[in-house]
Chain A
Amino acid sequence: MSYVIGVDVGSTYTKAVILSPEKEGKKKWLDTP
């Protein structure tokens, strides 16, 4: 399955989000604390 990740390496915190493909209904996960 073709999932993608966006990673934001900020000066204070680093955050990531994974998205599923459109046909999977745009599921998303956050690396919340």
Chain B
Amino acid sequence: MDSITLVLQFYGLGIIISFLLAVTIKAMLGTIRLFSRDKSEEVQHAD
């Protein structure tokens, strides 16, 4: 029984870390694209 509880904890931790990574990916891509859009808008205004 202990071993089942233990692996469920491992799995829970695995899910949390995996989704943390997925959220980081989304946030990172969003930030990079936001900044690159700002830059391209600045270039257009300058033109």
Do A and B bind?
Answer: no
